[in-house]
């Protein structure tokens, strides 16, 4: 994750001077750092070490809600920088996740929150996959097969939409259904809601783009999955799975689908059994549980194609808040998260 942007590896002296200048200047100015300041430093391509030190040594007022962490990650903020922000503290007025457990790797003390992560292993080569968030679309058609969903123009049009967030945010605060056209909030899309009634519709999870940028050349990779310190969730409620993704009309890849009332995603109540009748193409895997929220997942043989590592409830009867699923926070963040990869045609 930390290799996604330039780190000026050959300019150690220059980096040190920048570090002294930035941290010293911020301290003298008495400025309180925010999410926007961190994103600006990332945009200016300051070295990761400089940004982490600035976060640690300067007063900060950060929004570390799950949805905001996803947005920061998408803007190029690295795992080390995110963890530094989490360590400083949450946004004023936001509750800090309670935990009395210890971090074995640090020899004790409070466990620090951390976003879920996945590392793919191909023999002696390992690399971290980028955390992505699925998009959520609606269609009136029943989920008879992944192929039928991929051919549904309502789904693919919704996945390509990029609509203003204001009306969706307002509806979420009012805990009401959204009428009219589709809405987009932080990457989640909900289209075709009807204000005057609540028919049963099909919710479809997908991921944008026709192919993953992560190419795997082994037909039998393994994965290290860690969601042990995800804020606001119980890690024992979930386990990792690998699903085959279905390309849809050169616009997106379908992950899965389920049926529910059209206003399910606008409810704050945890009463939606998203996974009880969920349609997806799961791959046979051999997961090894190493601890709460920590797994090693082995795959015997994968054919060339598009895949994703996902997090699924251990119990199919687990209930979700539709609002959390639509906004990608708490348990919704877990269900919406995906790490995509493509198995190459020449994989062995």
pLDDT at residue number 330 = 87
The closest alpha carbon to 186, from 345, 289, 337, belongs to 337
CA 338-341-346 angle, to 5 degrees, is: 165
pLDDT at residue number 290 = 96
The closest alpha carbon to 223, from 232, 235, 211, 214, belongs to 214
In tens, the pLDDT along 152-182 reads: 888 888 777 643 232 233 333 333 332 222 3
Per-residue CA distances from 286 to 182, 239, 259, 275, 300 (Å) = 39, 12, 29, 21, 8
Q: Is the pLDDT of residue 125 over 60?
A: yes
Instruction: Tell me the pTM.
Output: 0.64
In tens, the pLDDT along 286-306 reads: 899 999 999 999 998 999 999
How many CB atoms sit inside 10 A of residue 17's CB? 12
The segment with the largest mean pLDDT, out of 78-82, 163-167, 220-224, 227-231, is 220-224
pLDDT at residue number 81 = 87
């Amino acid at each position: 994750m930390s290799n996604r942007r330039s780190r000026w590896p050959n300019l150690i002296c220059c980096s040190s001077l920048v570090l002294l200048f930035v941290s010293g200047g911020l301290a003298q100015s008495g400025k309180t750092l925010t999410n926007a300041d961190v994103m600006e430093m990332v945009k200016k391509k300051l070295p990761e070490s400089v940004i982490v030190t600035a976060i640690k040594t300067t007063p900060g007022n950060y929004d570390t809600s799950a949805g905001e962490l996803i947005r920061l990650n998408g803007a190029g903020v690295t795992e080390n920088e995110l963890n530094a922000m989490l360590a400083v503290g949450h946004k004023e007025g936001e509750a800090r996740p309670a935990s009395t457990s210890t971090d074995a790797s640090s020899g004790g003390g409070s466990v620090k929150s951390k976003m879920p992560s996945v590392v793919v292993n191909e023999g002696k080569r390992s690399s971290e996959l980028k955390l992505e968030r699925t998009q959520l679309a609606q269609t009136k058609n029943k989920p008879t097969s992944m192929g039928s969903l991929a051919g549904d123009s309502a789904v693919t049009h919704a996945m390509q939409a990029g609509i203003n967030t204001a009306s969706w945010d307002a509806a979420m605060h009012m805990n009401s259904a959204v009428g009219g056209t589709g809405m987009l909030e932080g990457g989640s899309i909900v289209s075709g809601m009807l204000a005057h009634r609540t028919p049963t519709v099909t919710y479809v999870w997908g991921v944008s783009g026709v192919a993953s940028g992560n190419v795997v050349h082994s037909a039998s990779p393994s994965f290290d999955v860690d969601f042990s310190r995800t804020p606001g969730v119980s890690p024992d409620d979930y386990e990792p799975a690998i699903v085959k993704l279905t390309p849809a009309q050169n616009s997106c890849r379908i992950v899965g689908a389920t049926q529910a009332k059209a206003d399910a995603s606008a409810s704050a109540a945890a009463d939606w059994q998203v996974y009880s009748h969920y349609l997806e193409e799961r791959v046979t895997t051999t997961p090894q549980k190493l601890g709460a929220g920590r797994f090693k997942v082995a795959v015997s043989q994968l054919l060339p194609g598009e895949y994703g590592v996902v997090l699924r409830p251990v119990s199919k009867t687990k209930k979700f808040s539709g609002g959390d699923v639509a906004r990608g926070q708490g348990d919704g963040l877990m269900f919406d998260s995906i790490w995509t990869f493509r198995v190459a045609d020449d994989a062995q």
